[in-house]
Structure 1
Amino acid sequence: MTYREVIAVEEFRWLWLGQGLSLLGDQFAQVALAVLVYSRTESALATAAVYALTYLPPIIGGPLLAGLADRYPRRRVMLWCDVLRAMLVAVMAVPGMPLPALCALVFGVVLLGAPFSAARAALLPEILSGDRYVVGSALQNVTNQAVQMLGFAIGGAVIATLGPYRALALDAATFLASALAIVGKVRHRPAPARADGRRPAMGSSVRTGLRLVFGDRRLRTLVLFAWLCGFYVVPEGIAAPYAAALDHETLPVSLVTGLLMAAMPAGTLIGALLYGRFASPAGRLKSMGWLAMLSCAPLIVCAARPPLEVVLALWALSGVGGVYQIAANAAFVQCVPPAERGQAFGIAQSGLLAAQGLGILAAGALAQRFGPEPVVAIAGAAGLSCAAALTMLWTESRAEIIAKVHAATGHPRGPSEPSAPVRV
């Protein structure tokens, strides 16, 4: 299975293009918001607080609103979320918008991202079946990392040319473009049918989703694998103080900060290209634990305070290890009943963002006291310990999921891949 074969699926192709365009607009909007808030307040705390708003809404809204993707047709949920977000960002683009109103609008835009992401994640396995889903997920990962690097690289130039308000208007236009792609190229599918034929209340849906995710050993392990990012995201969160602490007389701190922030996405981009293209379905699942440990282990070397070139290589290597998330996501899909995927993905995504936000917040507080290098090393050591424990738990579950993947993709089972009963 190749990227070209996946892109040939029309529905996926347009979802992929729309997502990439919308994500690029979001990168411009992040830079624009930082410029707007700092220019008005000249406060780093206020700027950081507005940035924190991108973490809080999904933590709250993910479990509550993600269930919409299981109650209503997923195409409709995505369409309404895109249209509403376009309207909110368009209001943000009005010059002179008061700062409290700007914060409220940011909260609303990010909140609507929870049901959109849940609906999209739940719809994708219906568009791409078997190994196509894994390759499609890898392609999305590659695209997200590339767009993130591109957005941060040229975002400042875009803001300097267009100004922050026009950049926000551009972001609103990308949401509309995504909505048009959904309307024109994604076919309507009815809401997923439940075994009992009833549509559960929102509160009941949240409780059912929590029981599903944490009551199943396989899903619980996979979700904890995903939440490991709270450890290896620490370097990106404190890249600026890390850059200031490095001994580099010839390069400005801002440039070094940008290089450090780009190192992990660059590693993940390279790893995802190789992982999605050359690793077999069973090979991805078998290597997941080792790659999870790789995502954290290189960070421990930062305790030795190596020079910039070595730090960039270490962080890029950590990014390569982060591609295990592709396999974890695919295995999660295999284990969740289709009618409950939206709620399950919403809970997993909320925890993912909470882990990132709390990890960065804790790292910032510790770096203020002890310096950034030991904090990155401690995060790497703690993450490696958790990854090793999860890898041992994973060996108890992966045989069942590998058998299920073989059944879905038609790949023959090798001699080292024993048969196991599969349950959902």
Structure 2
Amino acid sequence: MAATRPGRLPGRHRRSPESQATYSEVIAIGEFRALWVGQCLSLLGDQLAQVALALLVFERTRSPLATAAVYALTYLPPIVGGPLLAGLADRYARRQVMIVCDIVRALLIGLMAIPSMPFPVLCALVFCVVLLSSPFTAARAALLPEILEGDRYVAGSALQNMTNQAVQMLGFAAGAGVIATIGAYRGLALDAVTFVASALILAVGLRRRPPPDPEDGVHTSIWATTKAGARLVFGDRRLRMLVLFAWLCGFYVLPEGIAVPYAATLSHDPREITLITGLLMAAMPTGTVLGAFAFSRFVTPTRRLRAMGWMAMLSCAPLIGCVMRPPLAVVLGLWILAGIGGAYQLAANAAFVQCVPANRRGQAFGLVQSGLLAAQGIGILIGGAAAQVLGPEPVVALAGAGGLSVAALLAMLWTESRAEIITRVRTQVT
């Protein structure tokens, strides 16, 4: 029976828990390719939209706070509805949830592309689009372990992470030039097209699966499901630690939210500011691509877990160097190094999957993702307000110092839970 489960490659032998899956193994699985390509398409469109919105707001207001506030709007909706909507991924077929979310988001972004759309309405549409990302992300995260088993899940996650970061790198670096050529509203229209393409790819590439079996055979209310998911995630010491590691990104993502005003400190030419903004926004994704590749290909599963604390500290420490107001080349190097440290999220994600029951993964992943986006949004909003007073460089340095302090504390506490999860990895047979 195990040989027929989705994600299991026929004819493969059982292997050591420390053996590492290859990228060719996961790419050979058609359902993974559908998730992978669809996500890359929609993410590329999103990066164009984020650049367009950030530049549009800064051109109108010249305000770091206003720019950060609109950028934060792409992170904050999960605070309101994310934990509730994520439970849809455990109530309905996950393929269906993803397709419906893509179609609705395409329609909403199509409305955003209308040039006469009032700015407050535009912000409300952004809010709704991001809100729908919660059930979509929860469904995709819950479905991936069903498609990829064992260390193939880590390899697939790393491959997704690297390509997502590469797409962000391309979207941010080239997106500024594209937006400068076609305009902000056409960029939004292109984003809508990518969601339509993603829905079609998922519809064709994923096989139909029944909805997950409910707990105790009965579907509870959405509110009750949300409370049960919160008890599961925050009532387990191991899961609490992994969630806190995930939410640490609220510190090291802050520089992206104030990239435009940071670029304005390095140049006074509007065109140069646009290009520098793209480079700054691409720096951390570049580092994450490098870190994810090295972490997944050259580090064994148990060593990944042991290195999590050090990598988490690396994700924040380089940002402290921005307090010296270094030139652009040095800033890019510091941000790339921080992105390399962010690859620790691969180990945290894989450990989280091992500790959560399959029929509750949607709600659990949704809660974590919602908190993660909320932490990023709040961090960016606070950073924008602080940059208004202190300037972008010291604010980035303060974010690095605060994140390093929290990461060091988490690294010490993690040693209590790490041994238990490493034992799970060593006894796992894939």
- Partner-residue secondary structure (3-state), 2:116: coil
Distance between the aligned counterparts of 2:266 and 2:121, measured in 1?
Answer: 39
SS in 2 for 1:267: helix
Maintained 8 Å contact 1:29/1:168 = yes
Q: Which residue of 1 aligns with 2:5?
A: none
Worse-matched range after superposition: 273-282 or 368-377: 368-377
Structure 2 residue 429 is matched with structure 1 residue 404:
no
Aligned position for 1:299:
319
Aligned-residue offset at 1:55:
1.7
SS at match of 2:428: helix
Q: Partners of 2:266 and 2:428 in 1: how far apart?
A: 50
Query: Is it true that 1:9 corresponds to 2:29 in the alignment?
Result: yes
Q: Sequence identity of aligned pairs in percent?
A: 69
Whether 1:27 and 2:47 are equivalent positions in the alignment is yes
* Residue 81 (structure 2) aligned to one of 42, 61, 72: 61
Q: Contact 1:263/1:319 (CA < 8 Å) preserved in 2?
A: yes
Is the CA contact (8 Å cut-off) linking 1:131 and 1:409 kept in structure 2? no
Distance in 1, Cα, partners of 2:397 & 2:118:
41
Could you tell me which runs of 5 or more consecutive residues in structure 1 were left unpaired when the two chains were aligned. 411-424
TM-score scaled by length of structure 2: 0.88
Does the alignment pair 1:146 with 2:169?
no
- SS of the aligned residue for 1:94 comes to coil
Structure 2 residue 394 is matched with structure 1 residue 394? no
Write the deviation string for residues 206-251 of structure 1: whole angstroms up to 9, x where unpaired: 11111111110000000000111111122223334444445999x9
Selected match of 2:368 from 333, 344, 348 = 348
Measure the CA separation in 1 of the matches of 2:252 and 2:323: 15
Give the TM-score taking structure 1 as reference length. 0.89
Could you tell me whether the CA contact under 8 Å between 1:247 and 1:307 is conserved in 2? Answer: no
Alignment RMSD (CA, Å) = 2.4
Matches for 1:12-411 after TM superposition, within 5 Å: 12-34=32-54, 44=63, 48-245=68-265, 252-410=272-430
**Cα 1:97/1:247, change in 2 over 3 Å:** closer
Gaps of 5+ in 2: 1-20
Which residue of 2 is the match for residue 417 of structure 1?
none
Aligned length: 408
The alpha-carbon distance between structure 1 residues 197 and 386, as it changes in their structure 2 partners (threshold 3 A), is same
* Whole-angstrom distance in 2 between the partners of 1:35 and 1:237: 12
CA shift in 2, pair 1:248/1:306, >3 Å:
farther
C-alpha distance after superposition, 1:135-182 (max 9, x if no partner):
111111111111111112222333344443333232222111111111
Measured after TM superposition, the shift of residue 345 of structure 1 is 1.1
Deviation at 1:102, TM superposition (A): 2.4
- Measured in 2, the distance between the counterparts of 1:365 and 1:38 equals 14
Cα distance in 2 for partners of 1:393, 1:55 equals 28
What is the deviation of 1:72?
Answer: 1.0
Question: Given residue 411 of structure 2, which amino acid in structure 1 is its aligned partner?
Answer: T
Write the letter of the residue equivalent to 2:133.
Answer: G
Check conservation: 2:89, 2:97, Cα contact below 8 A: yes
